[in-house]
Amino acid sequence: MTESTKTQCPYCGVGCGLTVTPGASAGQAWKVFGDKSHPSSQGMICVKGATVAESIDKNRLKTPMIRDSLQEQFRPCTWEEALERIVNQMQTLIAQGEKESICLYGSGQFHTEDYYIAQKLVKGCLGVNNFDANSRLCMSSAVAAYLDSFGSDGPPCCYDDLELTDCAFLVGTNTAECHPIIFNRLHKYLKRNKEAKLIVVDPRSTKTAEAANLHLAINPGTDIDLFNGIAHLLLGWGAIDTYFIDKCTRDFPKYAEIIRHYPPEIVALKCGIPIDDLEQAARYWAESKRVLSLWSMGINQSSEGTAKARTLINLHLMTANIGKPGAGPFSLTGQPNAMGGREAGGLCHLLPGYRSVKNPQHRAEVEQAWGLPAGRISPVPGRDAWSMITGLETGDVKLLWIAATNPAVSMPDLERTKAALLKSPFTIYQDAYYPTETSAYAHLLLPAAQWGEKTGTMTNSERMVTLNKAFRPPVGQAQADWQIFAEVGRRLGFQAQFNFQDSAEVYSEFARLTYKRPCDMTGINYDRLAETPRPWPDSIDEISAPKTANSGELLGNLVKDDDKSPKTAAKRLYTDGKFNTADGRAVFAAYHSKGLAEPPDDDYPLVLTVGRLYGHWHTQTRTGRIEKIVKMHPAPFLEIHPQDAAKLGIEAGEWVEVRSRRGFARFPALITKAIAPNCVFVPMHWGALWAENAEANSLTHPAACPISLQPELKACAVKLIPLKSLVNAELSPGQFLATP
């Protein structure tokens, strides 16, 4: 191939458009530029997107490999042998009445087509719902919050809102480092418009917080206190929209009763912030006509993640900050296609088109579309990510198929996770790269085509669907993930259900299942996407009777939508004040704050929070092999406040052991006021392949939100021990020297 190809960046959920061109001569690296015509990113990319091509030939898995036990070495095998082994194992378990012991764990790195075929194989053909994805660790609290507050999933905002807001309220998101192009758009706008305000809520003084008019460094786990405290003030000041509340919402009285208990003096104390700052935040909300909230893992990765997100949404409902330009609650997706996964049924309680396995009508619609007998799809949600691990522990999971994700680094309570993986009778690991930390736990390795070697679609955080055209053929014997799943489906006897010639046919079948659903994509196909990325909703009905974006009737004192965005700009949802609930009203949530699942105590007196760095992506499978990024972030570290360092006698650069109730890790200390006292921070990127004993998740716990089942990866209780004292007290010098 010699021409340039347009695609989407395969890292974060911003979903920047890329243009990829071959090197000037054979053997030269592919070159990557920002795609100026992409409506979401407008030509901008960050260091990850700019360097992604450097990773595509490094450490690739090129052929299937197999072994009978984890003690043996892998030997290469043919696809025929690999597929036969998978199908035999599955048929044996099905014949034994143990189909519930089969699980598939996928990834937000999948294209939508991969997701769609994977969940069709498990939910439709096997008749169990044990398909979950790493989005469970990332976005499931946002999914649950949108569903419960609005009647369906789907972020209501779009990126143009970044440049139309009066007040950006960023909570639990280090946007500058984790979603840099979104932050660039917002920051440039804020520099031009000094009246617009930026509030950042984060226990750390991040690069995002440095740009804020107001930084609220709240104590970890006090987000709901803060939101209810702001609501208390707004209600007291009369700074609410009673017309919108009356006409477009329900359950406000229950919420008002809750927020009565959050007076500023109590909230400020609980959150550990000055009362003036709390009042200032509420004043910014009250004085702004358009408030835009952005949130990410700091809200979602919590044992009360759904309650946190819903309580934040409450603020938007009580002030009518939704469905209009520059306003609304906007969750930022961590992964490039977490959104596509949600649309395609990529979690264990979902079916395609924002349907639920619990809904009989939804199951019947999907069974009919798939040509399966009534009752084939189980009404019971399948195993979520963590319950696959506990199922291995109990022996109830007997076949675990992991694809495009690295749970031996990313799961909570890592020693427990690894011990469970060691017990797996049969683990299939499908990935583009080898080795990864998880490949050490596999019996069968399947080589997957990586993003530039297969054509498919991804949806970014603002519901923009981009066609990712392959720009080169797969290496070795690698195949697209959807092709591998489809071949297994055919061999299990479902030829008609997996009779696809190419990914365009897969997309077309999936899109038909979204007709008249909230995420209607029937107006989107590969031909139209080849012209430009397109946001949903985009119904086939609109092609014959086109409507202008944001044309809904606006209620109350909602601001008239005067957005002059081009036609390809993402539309906002709920511009007419009507939501996807049965009565069309958004629902207020009434939650008290519960705090952390594992608060600090005398034995473990500090709160550990984990997070991401600008250059690295998740478990470094790609970025750990890119020289520029490795130079930028060569090693992990522990951020500690000077007060805590002094108390513990820790000096700058000194190695420290961090212990939780589950494990330990070791880092050099970075003493900085960027982290609040009584908290410490470590990055989550370093697994066993990249550093010794530096895994953040060896410390974290699996306690999860009871609604979204998303684990609280963001916080756990720890204690610190300077390694010098360990050398004296517990370790011989030899042990110490061997470790860091």
Binding residues (CB under 6 A) for ligand SF4: these are 9, 11-12, 14-16, 45-46, 48-49, 179-181
| CB nearer to ligand SF4: pick between 622 and 714 | 622
User: What is the nearest approach in angstroms of ligand SF4 to the Cβ of residue 619?
Assistant: 15
Which among 166, 144, 146, 165 has a CA at the least distance from the CA of 155? 146
Based on C-alpha coordinates, what's the Rg of the chain?
25
User: What is the nearest approach in angstroms of ligand SF4 to the Cβ of residue 112?
Assistant: 16
| CB nearer to ligand SF4: pick between 43 and 605 | 43
Please state, in angstroms and rounded to a whole number, the distance separating the CA atoms of residues 273 and 281.
11
| CB nearer to ligand SF4: pick between 168 and 558 | 168
What DSSP state is assigned to residue 472?
Answer: S
Torsion of CA 188, 193, 195, 198, to 10 degrees: -10
Please state, in angstroms and rounded to a whole number, the distance separating the CA atoms of residues 137 and 605.
26
| CB nearer to ligand SF4: pick between 15 and 340 | 15
User: What is the nearest approach in angstroms of ligand SF4 to the Cβ of residue 3?
Assistant: 22
DSSP H or E segment with residue 299? helix 297-300
Q: Which residue is nearest to ligand SF4 (CB)?
A: 49
3-state secondary structure of 131: strand
Q: How is residue 44 written in tokens?
A: 């901008």
User: What is the nearest approach in angstroms of ligand SF4 to the Cβ of residue 11?
Assistant: 3
Q: How is residue 433 written in tokens?
A: 């790269």
CB atoms within 10 A of CB 544: 8
| CB nearer to ligand SF4: pick between 35 and 148 | 35
Q: Which long-range contacts (CB under 8 A, 24 or more apart) does 371-379 make?
A: 371/496, 371/497, 372/124, 372/125, 372/497, 376/124, 376/127, 377/123, 377/124, 377/127, 377/129, 377/351, 378/123, 378/127, 378/128, 378/129
User: What is the nearest approach in angstroms of ligand SF4 to the Cβ of residue 466?
Assistant: 10
Q: 548 CB contacts (<8 Å, ≥6 apart)?
A: none
| CB nearer to ligand SF4: pick between 288 and 466 | 466
Please state, in angstroms and rounded to a whole number, the distance separating the CA atoms of residues 647 and 548.
62
User: What is the nearest approach in angstroms of ligand SF4 to the Cβ of residue 633?
Assistant: 14
User: What is the nearest approach in angstroms of ligand SF4 to the Cβ of residue 202?
Assistant: 19
What DSSP state is assigned to residue 159?
Answer: G
Please state, in angstroms and rounded to a whole number, the distance separating the CA atoms of residues 552 and 192.
30
Which among 720, 724, 727, 723 has a CA at the least distance from the CA of 643? 720
Q: 487 CB contacts (<8 Å, ≥6 apart)?
A: 83, 498
User: What is the nearest approach in angstroms of ligand SF4 to the Cβ of residue 176?
Assistant: 11
| CB nearer to ligand SF4: pick between 168 and 420 | 168
Residues in the chain, overall count: 740
| CB nearer to ligand SF4: pick between 33 and 736 | 33
User: What is the nearest approach in angstroms of ligand SF4 to the Cβ of residue 181?
Assistant: 4
Residue with tokens 């598939």: 104
| CB nearer to ligand SF4: pick between 303 and 333 | 333
User: What is the nearest approach in angstroms of ligand SF4 to the Cβ of residue 732?
Assistant: 44
Q: Where are the strands (E) in 404-541, listed by range?
A: 427-431, 444-447, 456-459, 464-468, 534-535
| CB nearer to ligand SF4: pick between 578 and 612 | 612
User: What is the nearest approach in angstroms of ligand SF4 to the Cβ of residue 232?
Assistant: 36
| CB nearer to ligand SF4: pick between 179 and 701 | 179
User: What is the nearest approach in angstroms of ligand SF4 to the Cβ of residue 613?
Assistant: 12
| CB nearer to ligand SF4: pick between 345 and 535 | 535
Please state, in angstroms and rounded to a whole number, the distance separating the CA atoms of residues 715 and 302.
8
Do 606 and 600 meet the contact criterion of CB atoms below 8 Å apart? yes
Beta bridge partners of 722: 656
